[in-house]
Structure formats: structure tokens, C-alpha cells
Structure 1
Amino acid sequence: MSKIRITKQFTFETGHALYGYDGKCKNVHGHSYKLSVTVIGEPITDMGNAKLGMVIDFGDLKKIVNREIVNVFDHATVFNKNTPHVELAKELSDRGHDVLLVDYQPTSEMMVIDFAAKIQSFLPDTIKLHSLRLSETATSYAEWHAADQL
């Protein structure tokens, strides 16, 4: 059977600040992110399987990505936990805001690496994560490809 790639797209709003950056992005600001998740596998051929003909049910992929990424990052503010922004993060959190402290500089490049690890760990063994594209603006995005990780 042929290997097939399928893609599901997601959107979420997230704020962040880049500690130590020498431009405007050192300030707290936000983006309307668009995440494209592409997986690869063989369509199910078992005639008794309700998912016959699917690589993975789009709904199942949606559940994984929403649980691990969208529901966590949407309308949250992300800071590197090793920066002075932790004081601001605590103040925001104390006021009821969703704040994420991560182990990395929250650039699109680093976020897409984080997202790839999270998504891969929940995919069935028969399905592989092929690529991610995280668009931060209409003209700027970061991509992760499994083939580049070898």
C-alpha cells in the first residue's frame, strides 16, 4: 500500500516576549499562530475497521493537537523560565492570566521543536509525524521536518 500524508490545520492566539532580543520582540506582544500538522502512514485496509481508508481519523489527530498544543497555548503568554520575565509572569498569573514558562526562548523555531516532540509521543506506532509548519505572521513561519532530524 502507498504511504499517504495528511495535514490538519489549527489556529491559536499566544503572547510572548523574547528576552535579550535586540528588536521590538523583546516587548510582550502576541501572534495569531497557524499550525499545520502533517502525518504519514498507510490507509487502513481492514474491512472491519470503522476507519477503513484513513491514515488517521482527522478527529483523532485534532484531539491530540488540541490537548497538547492549542488548549495549552491559546490565549496564554509564554516566557522563557530563565529570564527576568518570570516576575511579570508571576504578576500575570496571580491576576488570573494563563502563563507558560518554558525551557526555551519562545521563538517559532523553538516552539515548533517543542510541538513536534509533544505530538509524536501521542501518535499511534503506525503513524509518523512528517512535518509541522508554524506561521507566526502571514509572511513568517518555521518548519520542522522528520527527514531533517536523521
Structure 2
Amino acid sequence: MFTFEAAHALQGYDGACRNIHGHSYRLQVTIIGEPLAEEAHPKNGMVLDFGDLKQLVQKVILDEVDHSLFLRADSAPELISTLHKLNHKLLLTPYQPTCENMLLDFKARLRHVLPEKVGLHSLKLWETQHSFAEWYASDEADAL
């Protein structure tokens, strides 16, 4: 389980989430693959060393998103300019930064860095204690 703090605003949304607000996110990453079957290898029996997975998630997701503000790239230019001038950690996305879309973004990031014989099985991103988005590779034709 990985955790990070981030803020977002949903442009054009008809509820309170149109305002900039933050969450303590939790991300669950489940991988799939054949465990290594080499008795002499120090990682025998592992699909991927959990330490290696932790480093990948840290590098391609957490380092970028922790304590950042997600906004659509086409948000108010004056707001974006002001936030940049104030050196805020801003992530401008081509998508509405919902929990669901963030999860799909994370899926794409991870798929690009996982070792060849390791696939993503599922991802789950909690925005609050009771609200989350979930993705399963089995729901896609190109699962691995």
C-alpha cells in the first residue's frame, strides 16, 4: 500500500469538488507473473521483489504526485500562471483529475516500467476512506 497527499479541482463540476481541495490517497498495486524458478538466484520464488516494486512506484508516481495540485491543463491561465510564480507543485493533466482518471494515468505509467514478464493485475486508488476507483487488467483485451 502506498500513500500520498495531493489536491485537485474538477473543472466544470456541479458540486463542491469544483473547488481546490486535498486528499490523503492510498494506492494498492497488484502484479502478476511467473515466480522466478532458479534455486541459486537470490530472488528465487519472486515475481518481482517488493523492494523493486516500491522503488518503481516511488519513481514513476509518488515522487511526482505527492504534495502536488492536479489541474486540467486547460484550466484558467491566470490561476496556472500565479501558481507557477509561487512555485507550487502543479500537475497539469489532459484529463479531468478524478480518482478514476488518475488511476488510469498511474496504470499507464507503471506499465511502461515493469519488467517484461511482470504485468499489472489490478490497481485500487482510495480518495477517501470510503471512496475509491479500481482497475483490473482482466477488463482489458491487452491485459499483459
Q: TM-score range by the shorter chain?
A: over 0.9
- Name the SS of the counterpart of 2:122 in structure 1: strand
1:108 aligns to what? 99
* Structure 1 unmatched runs, 5+: 1-8
1:49 aligns to what? 41
Instruction: Give the counterpart of 1:145 among 111, 136, 143.
Output: 136
Alpha-carbon distance, 1:66 to partner: 0.6
Alpha-carbon distance, 1:48 to partner: 2.3
Instruction: Give the counterpart of 2:19 among 4, 15, 27.
Output: 27
- What is the identity, as a one-letter code, of the residue corresponding to 2:108? A
Q: Measure the CA separation in 2 of the matches of 1:51 and 1:16.
A: 39
CA RMSD across the alignment: 0.9
2:119 aligns to what? 128
Alpha-carbon distance, 1:45 to partner: 1.0
Q: Measure the CA separation in 1 of the matches of 2:44 and 2:58.
A: 24
2:6 aligns to what? 14
2:110 aligns to what? 119
Q: Measure the CA separation in 2 of the matches of 1:93 and 1:73.
A: 16
Kindly tell me the number of residue pairs found equivalent between the two proteins: 141
- Name the SS of the counterpart of 1:63 in structure 2: helix
Q: Measure the CA separation in 2 of the matches of 1:138 and 1:129.
A: 24
- Name the SS of the counterpart of 2:121 in structure 1: strand
Q: Measure the CA separation in 2 of the matches of 1:50 and 1:21.
A: 51
**1:78 matches 2:92:** no
- What is the identity, as a one-letter code, of the residue corresponding to 1:15? A
TM-score (norm 2): 0.94
**1:64 matches 2:60:** no
TM-score (norm 1): 0.91
Q: Measure the CA separation in 1 of the matches of 2:80 and 2:16.
A: 19
Q: Percent sequence identity over matched residues?
A: 49
Q: Summarize deviations over 1:24-62 as a string: whole Å, max 9, x none.
A: 000000000000000011211112221111110011111
